[in-house]
Chains A and B, each alone.
Chain A
Amino acid sequence: MKDLISNINKVFESRVRLGIMSVLMVNENYDFNSLKETLNLTDGNLASHLKALEEKGMIKVTKQFIGRKPNTRYSATETGIAEFRQHLKALENLIKEQ
């Protein structure tokens, strides 16, 4: 039982971070505004969670310009993908234990 819980990753505990990682697991990359719309979040809320995930090395950020508009794209890093998979597995195992 202890093993199961130790695999639950603290970084992903918030719903917002789960949401961000879910999107980035199935999409090569996603831009800020589309993430905001998909997850139904405010700018500030999304930005702070993105920052946290970036600092932990779970996602990477690419900034570029489309015309004159800045366009920030996010994608999951290899570490992020691996850790999120493990987190998912831990969640599933927790349920199966019941």
Chain B
Amino acid sequence: MKSDTKSIEDIKAIRKIMEESSRFLSLSGLSGIFAGVTAIAGALFAYFFILDNGTIHYDEYFRDLSAEETFSLRLQLITDAALVLVLSVLFSLWFSIKKAKRDGKKFWTPISRRLLINLLIPLTTGGVFIFALLLQNNIQLIVPCFLIFYGLALVNAGKFTFGEIFYLGILEIITGLVSAFVPGWGMIFWIFGFGILHIIYGLAMYRKYEA
């Protein structure tokens, strides 16, 4: 019957429009892989070059140092982390713009704007909070906070893009919370949360939606 094929097509079209108008689907798995590799590279650089092969670590001695004595160390770590962040963001934007173009879609839409705002609220809160921790020499809690606030941002953004982002967010939050209870292992948790999880997620998304 003719009217039935029309109904089926109508419903298909409706589903597609609902999905495309409410979720940003140009996020590329490559961004995840790249962010993961950058995070690991940044962590290794910090370990070997800033922390002197791991001989500098957070302990009683470190805590007793004055803020001036640790200033250059903190500055180097911030620069390292900021560089990782900027590179990851730039490349994930680049991969997404490329993917949008390939699919013949716009990159800058009401949905990508909404996605960005929902990411930025927890991220900015986390950034400012971490800055406060840094000023007060609460180094120990910085890695857990990075992971927790980043996870919250992803959970929040999950409504506006692939649902898988939500689960990545949950894993980041768990990693962050666990790391808060295991002092001294920040580097390992950082590599796991920002490195390994990102790479696994990126590979899975790439194989599922792009390859």
A interface residues with partner B (beta carbon < 8 Å): 15, 18-19, 22-23, 25-27, 30-31, 34, 37-39, 88, 91-92, 94-95, 97-98
Contacts and interface: CB of A to CB of B under 8 A. Distances in A.
Given A27-B22, A31-B110, A22 B14 contact: yes
Nearest to A34: B110
A47 to B, nearest CB: 18
Nearest to A94: B7
A19 B17 contact: yes
Interface string B7-32: 11011011001101110000000000
A94 B2 CA distance: 11
Contacts of A30: 21, 110
Given A22-B21, A26-B21, A94 B3 contact: yes
A4 B3 CA distance: 12
14 contacts: A15-B10, A18-B13, A19-B14, A22-B21, A25-B18, A30-B21, A30-B110, A88-B11, A91-B7, A91-B11, A94-B7, A95-B7, A97-B4, A98-B1
A34 B109 contact: yes
A37 B106 CA distance: 8
A92 B106 CA distance: 31
Interface of B: 1, 3-4, 7-8, 10-11, 13-14, 17-18, 20-22, 106, 109-110
Given A30-B110, A95-B7, A23 B21 contact: yes
Contacts, number: 53
Q: Report the 3 A-B pairs with minimum CB-CB distance, sorted nearest first.
A: A22-B17, A26-B22, A23-B21
Contact of A38 (B3, B13, B109): B109
Contacts of A97: 4
B4 A98 contact: yes
Nearest to A37: B106
Q: Is the interface of B mostly helix, strand, loop or mixed?
A: helix
A89 B7 CA distance: 11
Contacts of B21: 22-23, 26-27, 30, 38
Given A23-B21, A26-B21, A38-B21, A18 B10 contact: yes
Contact of B18 (A15, A26, A92, A94): A26
Contacts of A34: 109-110
A38 B17 contact: yes
A57 to B, nearest CB: 20
Contacts of B17: 18-19, 22-23, 38-39
B120 to A, nearest CB: 19
A30 B114 CA distance: 12
B13 A15 contact: yes
A31 B13 CA distance: 20
A26 B17 CA distance: 9
A34 to B, nearest CB: 5
